[in-house]
Amino acid sequence: MLETGIVWAEIWPPIRLTLELAAVTTVTLLIIGTPIAWWLARSQARWKEAVAAVVALPLVLPPTVLGFYLLVALGPDGPGGWIAGLWGERSLAFTFEGLVIGSVFYSMPFVVQPIRNAFEAFGDRPLEVAATLHATPWDAFWSVAVPLARPGFLTGAVLGFAHTVGEFGVVLMIGGSIPGETKVLSVAIYDFVETLQWTEAHILAGGMLAFAFIVISAMMILEKRIARPRP
């Protein structure tokens, strides 16, 4: 099967790009998702569930719908176009930055939900204890809440990363398939199939399968190891 010339030059760039996209998206999501998760876990506001629903929307929304709205928002007439105008571009659509923005929205629930659950799981008591031990809220967040929510952060990061690696619909809508710029793995597989490059499609698809299996296994093992008896 693999005897005829495999076009490695077409296989590597999508892998590299996908890993870059997933890494940047995961880090971004941890930075903006953590305060959102904290607020959702701690706030007494009645409308917080509405915010939670907005965050969770990508779970049920068809990716093409999300992609369509993002395309409009990132395009020349949307806020994305205005932002791109700051450095002389017309649009954020069909750019790597645009993909990151889209992925952040798309993968948000997979990061926020586990972290929120972890923040809710330990309740108010550890933070009250920290307060009576002279820890300011900021201090207590870093010295108590984050360490206690470690399993949630791990799950969130892994799911966010893996989910970004696997996205297709949103990327297709806002990224197209510009090689080296926006052509990620899933789009590359699609294109290989379209052009009847079955071998290349097999390599990428098989790789993804292995990757998914490894991620899930690693997560389950780590979760077991990280879970400690609580007093």
Partner 1 sequence: MTSTAPALSAAFRGQVGSFTLDVAFEAPLAGVTALFGASGCGKTTILRCIAGLHRLPGRLAVGGQTWQEDGTGLFLPPYRRRVGYVFQEASLFPHLTVRGNLVYGARRAGPAGGQPVIALDQVIGLLGLEHLLDRAPGKLSGGERQRVAVGRALLAQPRLLLMDEPLSALDRQTKEEILTYFEALNKELAIPILYVSHDIGEVTRLADRLVVLSKGGKVAEGPLGTILERLDLRPVTGRFEAGVVLTAQVAAQDPAFNLTRLDHFGQAIVIPQVDAAPGTPIRLRVRARDVALATTRPEGLSIRNVLEGTVAEVREEEGTAFAELLIDIGGGRLRARLTRHAVAELALTPGVPVYALIKSISFDRRSMA
CB of 121 to partner 1, least distance (A): 12
Among 49, 77, 139, 223, binds partner 1 (CB under 8 A): 139
**Residue 85 in contact with residue 75, Cβ under 8 Å?**
no
For the bound state, the minimum distance from the C-beta of residue 149 to partner 1, rounded and expressed in Å, comes to 10
Residue selected from 147, 180, 212, 223 as contacting partner 1 according to rule CB under 8 A: 147
Query: Quick one: which segment of 22-30, 99-107, 110-118, 137-145 binds partner 1 (CB under 8 A)?
Result: 137-145
- Residue 40 φ then ψ, to 5°: -65, -35
Size of the residue set binding partner 1 (CB under 8 A): 23
Q: Tell me: does residue 223 bind partner 1 (CB under 8 A).
A: no
Residues 6 or more apart whose CB falls under 8 angstroms from that of 146 comprise 153
Q: Which is nearer to partner 1, 143 or 217 (CB)?
A: 143
Contact 169, 64 (CB under 8 A): yes
Instruction: Give the range of 1-9, 16-24, 82-90, 125-133 binding partner 1 by CB under 8 A.
Output: 125-133
Name the residue type at position 74.
L
- Single-letter amino acid, residue 14: P
Candidate segments 70-78, 127-135, 158-166, 186-194, binder of partner 1 by CB under 8 A: 127-135
Q: Which range of residues in 2-10, 138-146, 174-182, 209-217 is near partner 1 by CB under 8 A? A: 138-146
Q: How far, in Å, CA of 136 to CA of 125, rounded?
A: 15
Q: Does 148 engage in binding with partner 1 (CB under 8 A)?
A: yes
Is the Cβ of residue 69 or residue 122 nearer to partner 1 in the bound state? 122
Q: Where would I find the beta strands (DSSP E) of 18-122?
A: none
d(CA 156, CA 150): 10
CA atoms within 13 A on the CB side of 214: 7
Residue 189, C-beta contacts closer than 8 angstroms, at least 6 positions apart: 201, 204, 205, 208
* Euclidean distance between CA atoms 83 and 71, whole angstroms: 14
For partner 1, which stretch binds (CB under 8 A), given 46-54, 63-71, 102-110, 146-154?
A: 146-154
48-56 vs 8-42: helix axis angle to the nearest 10?
170
Among 7, 45, 79, 128, binds partner 1 (CB under 8 A): 128
Residue 144 in the binding site for partner 1 (CB under 8 A)? yes
Shortest distance in whole angstroms from residue 126 CB to partner 1? 6
| Site membership for partner 1, residue 222 (CB under 8 A) | no
Q: How far apart are CA 119 and CA 159, in angstroms?
A: 17
Which residues form the interface with partner 1 (CB under 8 A)? 125-126, 128-137, 139-140, 143-144, 147-148, 150, 228-231
